[in-house]
Amino acid sequence: MRRITGPKRSEAGQLLIIVVLASAVVALIVAPLLAWGFGAHRNAQIREVRMSKVYAADAGIEAAYYNLKFGNATEVGNSTGNISNVNGYLVQYTITQTSAAGAGSYSIRSTASDINKLTGNVTIVSHTGTTTFANFLDNALTSYGSITLKPNDIISGSIVLNGPDPTVGVPNVTLTCQAGNGSQCVSHDVPDWPTTTYLESFYWGQVADNSTHPPSTINIGANETYHLGNCWTTGDLTISGPGNFSLDGTLYVKGTLHMGSAVKVHLNYNTIFATGGMFIGEKNKDLEFFGPGSLIAEGEVNFWPKQKGTEFIFVMSVSKNLEMHPNGDWYGSLAGLTSIDLQPGSRLIWKEPPKENGALLLNFPPGLYLSLRIQDWIIID
């Protein structure tokens, strides 16, 4: 049997050296790792705090944009505001007008500061550019999608769309406009499109206080005149004649509007706004419209009108198609988000919308003259 003996005299102390070397190596590795871990954690905390302040300051930018769109900032030019607590930060913003109200640019500065004064501030500066939704009224036809013309259509005025030239391959289409003739009347400079939310907010503000609601069906006798305006329906609305319908203020239809049976509609510079569609005339060629005024629907618009006189009438589908079947000449402007379809032989004549001392007389939202888009967004410590 072999006997196990201890280390030789020559090997004495080697274990101690190994232990010391191992401890040194561990110290060399662990210390930087601990320092790195602590630094990474600290940096993560700093980033988290900074991003919280950035988000808070951005809330001020959004509040300022809302103020510009729906408040009085577009009227007074400059405005200030604050939000008392956004995740523990006080947010203060300033709107500075850099050109004419409603027709230029704004500078927005928003600062988020720690309510407890424990950390520094973050400031965001944003500049806006403006466009005008009133451009819709400057064109005979405007579509974010396509426009379909038919043989023998006559369009006097500009055509603005995203789709292809609607005159290509269609015989006997006549285009005239201030820029010239033919293809010179067609452009792809489509203006910013209004949202349904914004339009609802504007027109609802005109009728919300009226607690009197018209019936869902209105039948007007031959010798009668039915007056309606500055009110809202609780659902769809159907109006039939053969009498006169006088629009004496904003009519807000919470649903779909149907008109037919020889109604004589007098818009009187006012607007009918429908959250659904509009089906007007529905192949009834005796339906007559007297302008000026506006017809705006969120849904599809199918229109079979006869226009009496030459006053400007604006017709728009905010989110769907506009199908137009004019019975005779039509004076005004048409807009459809997805498309516009005209029947063969249509004659659409654009003319200057009614104005007084340069101010538009139609009930067209003033806020539509200011469409905001962020041109830049800069973080300043």
pLDDT in tens, 299-340: 999 998 889 999 999 999 999 999 998 878 999 999 999 999
Could you give the CA distance from residue 180 to residue 172 in angstroms, rounded to a whole number? 17
| 257/91: higher pLDDT | 257
> Which of 7-11, 78-82, 257-261 is least confident?
7-11
What's the rounded Cα separation, in Å, for the pair 352 and 355? 8
Instruction: Among 70-79, 209-218, 301-310, name the one with the lowest average pLDDT.
Output: 70-79
Closest alpha carbon to 147 in 346, 296, 321, 279: 321
Confidence of residue 71 (pLDDT cuts 50, 70, 90): low
d(CA 345, CA 328): 9
Mean pLDDT along residues 176-194: 81
Bridge partners of 80, per DSSP, are: 94
Q: Look up the pTM and report it.
A: 0.67
Phi and psi at residue 32, to the nearest 5°:
-60, -35
Report pLDDT for 33.
61
Instruction: Kindly give, in sequence order, each residue whose CB lies less than 8 Å from that of residue 219, ignoring residues fewer than 6 positions away.
Output: 240
If 0-12 CB within 10 Å is exposed, 13-18 middle and 19+ buried, where does residue 291 land?
buried
Alpha carbon distance 128, 111 (integer Å): 17
Q: How confident is the model at residue 207 (pLDDT cuts 50, 70, 90)?
A: very high
Say yes or no to pLDDT of 7 above 80: no
**Stretch 225-249: mean pLDDT:** 95
Distances from the Cα of 95 to the Cα of 72, 83, 312, 368, angstroms: 11, 14, 36, 19
Given this model, what pLDDT does residue 312 score?
A: 96
Residue with tokens 């032989």: 345
Tell me the HSE value of 279 on the side-chain side, using a 13 A CA sphere.
Answer: 11
CB 274 within 8 A of CB 297: yes
pLDDT given for residue 101 in this prediction: 47
Per-residue pLDDT, 22: 66
Name the residue with higher pLDDT: 187 or 370: 187
Q: What is the pLDDT of residue 322?
A: 96
Asked whether residue 241 carries a pLDDT value surpassing 70, the answer given is yes
pLDDT exceeds cutoff 60 at 90: yes
Residue 297 token pair: 């629907």
Average pLDDT over residues 208-235: 95
Q: What is the mean pLDDT of residues 101-119?
A: 70
At residue 240, what is the residue type? S
What pLDDT score does 43 carry? 54
- What's the angle, vertex CA 101, arms to CA 98 and CA 102, rounded to 5? 115
* pLDDT of 1 higher than 80: no
Local confidence band at 370 (pLDDT 50, 70, 90 cut-offs): very low
Place of tokens 């379809």: 341
Q: What average pLDDT does range 232-239 have in this prediction?
A: 96
